[in-house]
A and B are shown apart, each in its own frame.
Chain A
């Protein structure tokens, strides 16, 4: 029962995790790729689409929320097989020994993935290295062992949930039944109910940060369960201006946007940008950490119009976006041509009818439908079309 829930749940976690990696367009540019040594493990990558614009919001919300909700199921599964840890002799045969070695990768991999994920969404970076490296390669180690385990155990798991009477399960042969049981204090159904209650409790205090709107209040223990403020700019912030070293002089009257295409260049002030045709896009912000906002109404200059300023027609190439922020993995990013050409992709100057706040990227930020939050670069200073990075 627990095994079958984990089979479905972890499969969804793996698929949504792989999608999240693809959403960064890592094969487009070195600076987009947090795991450039991936080799064959990037075999499945594809161009991340801009439609539906809520795709990443959905997949990443599911990835993080489902991962949290599965924790009691995983713990209960480990609890239910504890006698196996003390199996003697440790290896009855070569096949049994190899299988137990594989179990170390299975259990270690599961714990490693859940622990790094839980710590990362709380910004508690105590793990030994880059989160992306640990979580991505750890997932592949884990999934290899997971496939082996499912192949060897699926038939047994299915037999265990079949209605009784059709095929009696010889539980004793599995070595998990105590030869000398204590008086029962809870029924089997009660124990499963307790696991379900744990999952439900975690869901209730978490999911609101991904649903947003009124429901955010319900996410009382999730990192993004509060609103940072009120008004047009009062929605969730991933990194404030102060936390990434933005100084007043970086975004003051001296701020300029430079748009380049090879040797052609246009330099624009904020007033000049506001004088260009303004377009509106209703887009959410969705973070790799699983939280997201409802749609915000952004307005600004379309990326295709900025490309046209430097002589690029209706089919502009990819673009390198650079920010005034100091350091950090995402101070620059490359957007793919399909993202540049989408009419909803903006260099946003306003949100919900007001000028952008400093923490939301004043004077100008990128908004691309469906892109992970960190690719909606804030405090933009330069767009370089067609550039290798």
Chain B
């Protein structure tokens, strides 16, 4: 047993399970590839790489650019946490996610949609833009409220000072 483990790298059960799954994949895969074998193979491998090689670089670069643009003005020595980037990141993420799922309708790619369903194909782009606008507006409102809450002690002190001065007069 330990000899097998040394040569293979895991228990015989591991090998058995993997081979079972490959047998199933082969049985279904032969049927999957029966028509346009190349097309299906490209779609399958493409689907495996879609996130890692397309989406990830795209959102990573966007996120880095946002962080760079929003970097604290105090220079690299500043201790301010970089959390403010999230006021941009959250609405952008949700908006991009909705586009990622519903792009064929939003970008009017389905020419036969109205003929088939008797529903308008022209509403989706406008609706997505309105949702995006609402998301950014809500985020801006949160940022505003947070900023006011953060400066409240200072404002209260200033008000008290003014009131004090008035009373002294």
Chain A residues with a Cβ under 8 A of chain B: 35, 37-41, 68, 71-72, 75, 78-79, 82, 85, 92-96, 98-99, 101-102, 104-105, 107-112, 114-116, 118-119, 122-124, 127-130, 133-134, 137-138, 140-141, 143-145, 147-148, 151-152, 183-186, 190, 194, 197-198, 201-202, 205, 220-224, 226, 228-229, 236-240, 242-243, 359
Contact = CB atoms under 8 A, between A and B. Distances in A.
Nearest to B106: A221
26 contacts: A41-B27, A41-B31, A79-B51, A79-B56, A95-B9, A104-B48, A111-B50, A123-B104, A124-B109, A128-B35, A128-B39, A128-B40, A128-B42, A129-B39, A129-B40, A130-B35, A137-B29, A183-B82, A184-B81, A185-B82, A186-B89, A194-B89, A221-B127, A229-B118, A238-B117, A240-B118
Nearest first, the 6 closest Cβ-Cβ pairs linking A and B are A93-B9, A111-B47, A128-B39, A108-B48, A140-B28, A95-B9
Contacts of B143: none
B119 A185 contact: no
A147 B44 contact: no
A145 B85 contact: no
Main secondary structure of the interface of B (DSSP, over half): helix
Contacts of B39: 128-129
B97 A202 contact: yes
A41 B44 contact: no
Interface stretch (B16-24, B147-155, B157-165): B16-24
Contact of B8 (A95, A152, A205): A95
Given A185-B83, A224-B117, A240-B118, A82 B98 contact: no
B34 interface: yes
Contacts of A222: 102
Nearest to B23: A144
B32 interface: yes
B15 interface: yes
B110 interface: yes
A285 to B, nearest CB: 12
B110 A144 contact: no
A323 B116 CA distance: 17
A303 to B, nearest CB: 28
Given A124-B109, A185-B83, 9 more contacts: A95-B9, A98-B18, A107-B48, A129-B36, A129-B40, A134-B32, A221-B98, A221-B105, A243-B115
B90 A115 contact: no
Given A138-B32, A185-B67, A112 B44 contact: yes
A137 B31 CA distance: 7
B44 to A, nearest CB: 5
Contacts of A95: 8-10, 14-15, 18
B25 interface: yes
B117 A223 contact: yes
A92 B9 contact: yes
Nearest to B85: A185
B124 A221 contact: yes
B112 A243 contact: yes
B141 interface: no
Contact of B47 (A112, A184, A228, A243): A112
A241 to B, nearest CB: 10
Nearest to A146: B21
B21 A145 contact: yes
A237 B117 contact: yes
Contacts of A190: 86
Given A68-B101, A82-B56, A148-B17, A186 B34 contact: no
B126 to A, nearest CB: 10
Contact of A201 (B42, B97, B113): B97
Contacts of B110: 122-124
B120 interface: yes
